[in-house]
Amino acid sequence: MRVSVVGGAGYVGGELVRLLLGHPECQLAQVTSASHRGKPVTMVHPNLRGFTDLRFVAPPDLERCDAVVVAGADEPGQGLSLDDLRGRAPLVVDCGTRLRLRHQATFRQWYGTESEPQSVLDAAVYGLPELHRAGLAGAPLISGVGCSAVGTILALLPLARAGWALTSPACVEARFGSSAGGSQPDLGSHHPERSRAVRVFAPEGHRHAAEVAQALGWSSEQLSYAGVAVEMVRGISISVRCFLAEAVTEREVRELFRATYADEPFVRLVAQRSGLHRLPDPRWLSGTNLCDVGFSLDRSGLRLSLFAALDNLGKGSAGNAIQALNCATGMDERTGLTFTGLHPL
């Protein structure tokens, strides 16, 4: 099938291009960029030298194809509305924010801007296969996912499905690598400010909390969500502190996670009792579509710490989008996504 990438000059766009070039069932048709039109794709994404001769095309020159994947934040002057995109392809996967939340009022509250019309939000399927695999089959419109939201959802999903009650909000700390901020520079990404950073940039109310609450069927008051910038380029590390209403055993927690993710190809339980790599570490997930989840339980059985790690450009965005595309078109969802990561790195 012929797939085009819209807004392909950023980091998510580059990852989409890389994955589609290696996808055995997809042909990369076009890559758009308002600011780089006419330039070789490899001028912006040097890792792809020798793998493609494509040049960026202006957004209005996007041709009809079988699927369009929107890389994320709209480029200035992109000039393509969602209606434009849906007129060019029967399947649109949008990695941006505009379709992630189901209700206009919720989107306005968390993003401070207007969303797509409610009818469009109703038609979009939230693009996390671990939650909506059945709904993705044949879906014409699929939303992207928030990078840290993915890890937080997958860490908490077993508890939410089992109905384990908490006595206080789950406390989430998401530690972000610099690529999560996108390719456009700002003060926070300026090297003297970003280098060696361990900086809390969202001490409370990170907007990904809205996605997590929506996915789990919780209210946003059940989460305390902080974002921290750390010295890393790719990757997100997430810790969630939970205070349980009833004591549990380590065996019960382990069995719950194993049962939840037994058939999930891209979620791994990493919770060893000893060893250097006993809990999830995003370093070993760079370039993969994997999310590792783990846990630690204190002696009382009431304080449960959950952990997740992923590549923000992989399972946190582009890789997940290709997985959702695979699900939507009836392909094996692992197609084109079997890279295992590297060690050491």
Are the C-beta atoms of 270 and 278 separated by less than 8 Å?
yes
Helices (H), the chain: 11-21, 41-44, 82-88, 104-111, 118-123, 129-136, 147-162, 191-194, 208-216, 250-261, 319-328
Give catalytic status of residue 171 as yes or no: no
Q: How far apart are CA 200 and CA 331, in angstroms?
A: 41
Q: Is 46 exposed, middle or buried (0-12, 13-18, 19+ CB in 10 A)?
A: exposed
- Provide the β-strand partners of residue 293: 269, 308
The catalytic residue among 26, 65, 147, 242 is 147
Contacts of 30 (CB under 8 A, 6+ apart): 4, 5, 54, 57, 61, 62, 63, 65
CB 218 within 8 A of CB 160: yes
Amino acid identity, residue 18? Answer: R
CA distance 182 to 198: 18
| Degrees to nearest 5, angle at CA 167 with 166 and 173 | 65
Among all residues, which ones are annotated catalytic? 147
